[in-house]
Structure 1
Amino acid sequence: MKQLKLTGFVIFLFFLTESLTLSTKPQDVDDVSITKKFIEENVGYITIIIFAQYIQEASFEEVEMLVKTMTEYRDKCLADMTLPECSELANDVLLENICALEGLPQKHNFSHCCSKVDLEKKLCFFHHKKADVGFLPPLPTLDPEEKCQTYKNNRESFLNNYIYEVSRRNPFVFAPTLLTVAARFEEMTKTCCEEQDKANCFRTKAEPVIQYLKASSSFQKNVCGALIKFGLQVLEFINVAILSQKFPKIEFKELTSLLEDVSSKYHGCCEGDAVQCIRGRSKVMSHICLKQDSISSKIKECCEKKIPERGECIISSNKDDRPKDLSLREAKFTESENVCEERDANQTSFMAEFLYEYSRRHPELSTPELLRIAGVYEDLLKECCHTENPPDCYRHAEHRFNETTEKSLKIVQRECERSQNLGKEDLKYYYLIKLTKIAPQLSTEELTFLGKEMVTALTTCCTLSEEFACVDNLMDLVLGELCGINENRNINPDVDHCCKTNFAFRRSCFEGLEADKAYVPPSTFQGLFTFHTDLCQAHKEELQRKKDRFLVNVVKLKPDIPDAELRSLLTDFTNVVVKCCQAEGPEACFNEEGPKVAAKC
């Protein structure tokens, strides 16, 4: 049951709309005015998110200057909406004001974006975002007592700073999600500042907030990557699969109507237009609750809740029960004589309806698997509709679908067997080596993150009854992280091919990848084998991070070393730390032992 909630949470995140100051009265179905009020009340937070995501290098003081400007703009327009500048789109006004900040475009190297107009300008700022945030300083940490005093002294500045720091480190996360994270952070701060053991309280309560942000980020990057690299149709097919599984009793016509709202909001959300994203999400929520009788029997209580709770409730609600009269197979797509004629009449709508019918009948399958089956069916019809007897050809479609699922199932079973045989730590090292060899161009930070995420997916899912869908969904999100959002992200030809050729089949494509043969390793990695006494002071998690980074950097330096030897070097690293941290002169010990490890490499 726990994993059903987790999978639903990850896959359904894009419906969430929450805020710091949104009205807590029960939501009216038509919430346009409430959404407008929310945007007006949160203009400062929204400004920080947009600015910090577009210009991650900007200082907090520079962000505060823009907040002041945008707050004045809001007040001026609330007083007189007939002013010419008040008819402009909020995001356009904000970008104009970013460009107007004296010296800032030159300082942070985005003046070329300011010379563009309309969509080109917005896309230029979007492409300025950097997924790898290794160039930013470590996230500032305050002592719990100091944190509580700062919050008490100046709540607004404290929250503004928090939103700024989180936003610049998560440039592709949707604005409503970041507002939710900030709301939870404030709630956590209020609670923990009343506790005697503040440090333990913050540690315990921060974990679910971090997990929520990571899950949201992963899903949003995945769907935005699909939209930007493959276009709106692939995004719509993803949503068809998700919604049909979540709401199996929804009629296809109603699903199509809902999809218009869901898909239309993605351009704004993915490009960083926070205002359009918030409005789009609010429209989706209203649509679902307005038509709840024909969509799902599981969300009645959710739609009666106050606004901040409603989104969470719908996300965590179980998939609706499959209608009792729903047959196990839809004969229309495999047994009808007129399949080719219907397909030719409107191919996109026909394929969407096939995916809808197959998805609502197969709640046990993952979203990528449903897209693979749709791809197999589309290819089959291309083949069959050119034969003399098409019905005789596509009548065996179910056999093709089963074959496809069997292949995917074997990949998952193999991964889970490896997970059980190796154990958590060795499994991580396996993926760190594998990922670094196939994509050595990625930063050490990215590779260590991806390796850990692969392990999380397997250790979370491999003991569950719904193992296949869980593993396939979560590992697909990791590949989405690897491939990135920006269409101009290039890693190496083999990885790029898997990322850009076919969204549904990229998992099997990555399965076949070997080490990048064209990669030219650096002649040396400065300081890689130079160890210091800071290793003795590092707590367990920090030492583990250093160990992971060491392994990745060794693979980058010597990609041809066999896996067994890499593991041996890792053992040497661990032994040196243990030996030297127990020695009378740790620094001298490290100076002596470091070169020995280097010599083995």
Structure 2
Amino acid sequence: MKQLKFTDFVFFLFFFTESLTLPTKPQDENYKSPLMKFIEENIEYITIIAFAQYVQEATFEDVEILVKDMVEYKDRCVANKTLPECFKLPNNALQEKIFAMEGLPQKHNLSHCCSKVDFERRSCFFFNKKADVAFLPPFPTLDPEEKCQAFKNSRKSFLNRYVYEVARRNPFVFAPTLLSVAARFEEVAGACCEEQHKATCFQTRAAPVIQYLKAFSSYQKNVCGAYLKFGTKVLNFMWFNYSEILSKIEFKIQCVRDTSKVMNHICSKQGSISSKIQECCEKKIPECGECIINSNKDDRPEDLREAKFTDSETLCQERDTDPDNFFAEFTYEYSRNHPDLSTPELLRIAHVYKDVLSNCCKTENPPGCYRRAKDKFNETTEKSHKIVQRECEHFQLWGKDGVKYYYLIRLTKTAPQLSTEELISLGEKMAMALATCCTLSEEFACVDNLVDLVLGELCGINENRTINPAVDHCCKTNFAFRRHCFEGLKADETYVPPTTTKDLFTFNADLCQAQNEELQRKKDRYKYSLPFLFFFMKYNLTDEKLQSLFTSFTFLGPKIGS
């Protein structure tokens, strides 16, 4: 799994939600901007993605009808920008066309959205999305020869259907990410269809594309969950972490929400902002932004002003004048000065700083109080470092499989209400995070970023998601400190497990006959049952002892049939 940053998906969030608009008046000077040209050129894909994510049950035939309508709409507006219908935002136009499709709103429970407007309508569509896609049929698979024949017959039709199938199963992934996935898969199909061993080629070359999608899906679901539970202020703090990568970028540009303008600004001032983004600025949308976000960090700048936030005599007055801007600037400066820290840790520091000022500004000597803020920052970071250090020690001791089972135990104890599949998936992602990060020089930031995303998946997107009181408290109380909160969770002893049956550990022959990934899945399902068996039957076994039992179980498959 590639180490990605929170700013990756914040970039895409603003790109799609705020930049994807038609001009509000015919003479809009930005009408032929690179962004608008990109939208025009990709209107079919954008329509497919939006519709498939809004109405996941919709058929591909429904999608094709809407695509045809939206292409005609775009063509009319390009030909005559003064038409009344062309003053609508594309998203509004698309939603209205969905409402106009005969019987579709009633069939797919969208009728209640039809009477809403603006933000309420967008929210209504958003909450219609379903994170659990088990209701959809399995992803359609074709024999490699059939796949390549369909690709050669009509590359456009083949890719449109691929985008539709991926989008409806990933309703919270931002459109630019899915466009990138489609482009990458097109390259894979083009190359593999010329190979003799097509199946092997697809299996090898498609794996990184799937991993790319999984990684971004995790990040983007997390940011959606953060927004729904904690509002825009959390996103604002994430957005300010551009300064981690482009430490010379001036503070004022960080306040610009239209990401296309941010990218234009950065690329127009490469010399003063960064020496490492020239190739990125030569790329097209959205590759330009993704490239900039993933570029190497600049050298530490000389104009750091972090000290002013602990040494100034007038901090309380400055804070009270414009609190939002004041704390945003603090986060910006602290990020530039501490590029080794993770985004969650920077959010923790910002939260600690708010608390410090809140307490100190009530005392008789505020400056004497808040000058000790750095001690609080160091205490917080030291605690976070110790958590990561302990996690990587587990990885070094037990390896990837052992760590997976260790977290499967912990998660099962703290959140036994989750399904088998979800617990296994979360355990696997925890293990993947440690396997990815625990050998890197930037171990702390990498682990803290990725593990926090796993917790984001556990907490889910819906603000009303409930698991149990302790887990809900960690998920909903404080976004910055949920990692510390989860670290202190104990087992949920109020949970009443399902009744165990005598055939719980009856091993059928198919366990030995299963291969590779299928075999691993079957074994994981058995291992999942062990925490219930030992913990809920009150056996006094430590996590480490259970982990040892799970590791031994790894060798069960080969031995059963011997």
Distance 1:326 1:525 in 2: 67
Alignment check: 8 A CA contact 1:355 1:370 kept:
yes
- More deviation in 503-512 or 38-47? 38-47
In the TM superposition, residue 442 of structure 1 has moved relative to its aligned partner by 2.6
| 1:432 maps to 2:408 | yes
> What's the CA shift string for 1:308-351, capped at 9, x where partnerless?
6534432332111112x346x73312222222222222222221
Q: Secondary structure at the match of 1:334?
A: helix
For 1:151, the equivalent position in structure 2 comes to 151
Alignment check: 8 A CA contact 1:450 1:482 kept:
yes
In the TM superposition, residue 288 of structure 1 has moved relative to its aligned partner by 2.1
Alignment check: 8 A CA contact 1:15 1:284 kept:
no
Cα distance, 1:330–1:120 mapped onto 2, change above 3 Å = closer
| 1:120 maps to 2:116 | no
State percent identity of aligned pairs: 66
Distance 1:374 1:9 in 2: 18
Cα distance, 1:409–1:482 mapped onto 2, change above 3 Å = same
For 2:297, the equivalent position in structure 1 comes to 319
For 2:8, the equivalent position in structure 1 comes to 12
Gaps of 5+ in 2: 17-28
In the TM superposition, residue 62 of structure 1 has moved relative to its aligned partner by 2.5
Q: Choose from 397, 416, 423 the match for 2:392.
A: 416
For 1:599, the equivalent position in structure 2 comes to none
Q: Secondary structure at the match of 1:514?
A: coil
Q: Secondary structure at the match of 1:65?
A: helix
For 1:514, the equivalent position in structure 2 comes to 490
For 1:137, the equivalent position in structure 2 comes to 137
Distance 1:107 1:553 in 2: 39
In the TM superposition, residue 184 of structure 1 has moved relative to its aligned partner by 0.6
Q: Which amino acid aligns with 1:260?
A: V
- More deviation in 113-122 or 225-234? 113-122
For 1:33, the equivalent position in structure 2 comes to 33
In the TM superposition, residue 114 of structure 1 has moved relative to its aligned partner by 3.1
Q: Choose from 344, 367, 379 the match for 2:343.
A: 367
Cα distance, 1:338–1:176 mapped onto 2, change above 3 Å = same
Q: Write the mapping of 1:455-534 to structure 2, written as runs, cut at 5 A.
A: 455-523=431-499, 532-534=508-510
For 2:169, the equivalent position in structure 1 comes to 169
Q: Write the mapping of 1:193-342 to structure 2, written as runs, cut at 5 A.
A: 193-240=193-240, 242-253=241-252, 257-261=253-257, 280-307=258-285, 309-323=287-301, 325-326=302-303, 330-342=306-318
- More deviation in 422-431 or 558-567? 558-567
In the TM superposition, residue 556 of structure 1 has moved relative to its aligned partner by 6.0
Alignment check: 8 A CA contact 1:10 1:215 kept:
no
In the TM superposition, residue 355 of structure 1 has moved relative to its aligned partner by 1.5
- Number of equivalenced pairs: 543
In the TM superposition, residue 56 of structure 1 has moved relative to its aligned partner by 1.6
Alignment check: 8 A CA contact 1:14 1:281 kept:
no
Cα distance, 1:238–1:100 mapped onto 2, change above 3 Å = same
In the TM superposition, residue 216 of structure 1 has moved relative to its aligned partner by 1.5
Q: Which amino acid aligns with 2:353?
A: Y
Distance 1:132 1:526 in 2: 31
Q: Which amino acid aligns with 2:414?
A: I
> What's the CA shift string for 1:557-598, capped at 9, x where partnerless?
8751555568758867964x546656xxxxxxxxxxxxxxxx
Cα distance, 1:290–1:113 mapped onto 2, change above 3 Å = same
Q: Choose from 402, 405, 429 the match for 2:381.
A: 405
For 1:100, the equivalent position in structure 2 comes to 100
Gaps of 5+ in 1: 19-28, 262-279, 583-601
Q: Write the mapping of 1:341-352 to structure 2, written as runs, cut at 5 A.
A: 341-352=317-328
Q: Which amino acid aligns with 2:97?
A: N
For 1:72, the equivalent position in structure 2 comes to 72
Q: Which amino acid aligns with 2:339?
A: P
For 2:51, the equivalent position in structure 1 comes to 51
Q: Which amino acid aligns with 1:286?
A: N
Q: Which amino acid aligns with 1:301?
A: E
Q: Which amino acid aligns with 2:364?
A: E
- More deviation in 289-298 or 490-499? 289-298
Alignment check: 8 A CA contact 1:366 1:469 kept:
yes
Distance 1:371 1:495 in 2: 20
Alignment check: 8 A CA contact 1:440 1:519 kept:
yes
Distance 1:536 1:403 in 2: 51
In the TM superposition, residue 40 of structure 1 has moved relative to its aligned partner by 2.4
In the TM superposition, residue 180 of structure 1 has moved relative to its aligned partner by 0.7
Q: Which amino acid aligns with 1:552?
A: Y
Distance 1:59 1:176 in 2: 22
> What's the CA shift string for 1:432-469, capped at 9, x where partnerless?
12112222333333222211111111111112221111
Cα distance, 1:47–1:549 mapped onto 2, change above 3 Å = farther
For 1:272, the equivalent position in structure 2 comes to none
Alignment check: 8 A CA contact 2:433 2:451 kept:
yes
Cα distance, 1:458–1:570 mapped onto 2, change above 3 Å = closer
Q: TM-score, normalised by structure 1?
A: 0.83
Distance 1:344 1:116 in 2: 38
Distance 1:382 1:300 in 2: 43
Q: Write the mapping of 1:514-593 to structure 2, written as runs, cut at 5 A.
A: 514-523=490-499, 532-552=508-528, 555=531, 560-561=536-537, 562=541, 564=545, 568=549, 575=556, 577-578=557-558, 581=561
Distance 2:268 2:72 in 1: 36
- More deviation in 466-475 or 536-545? 536-545
In the TM superposition, residue 259 of structure 1 has moved relative to its aligned partner by 2.9
Q: Which amino acid aligns with 2:497?
A: P
Alignment check: 8 A CA contact 1:258 1:287 kept:
no
Distance 2:355 2:144 in 1: 59
Q: Secondary structure at the match of 1:135?
A: coil
Alignment check: 8 A CA contact 1:521 1:558 kept:
no
Q: Which amino acid aligns with 2:456?
A: G
Distance 1:527 1:163 in 2: 43
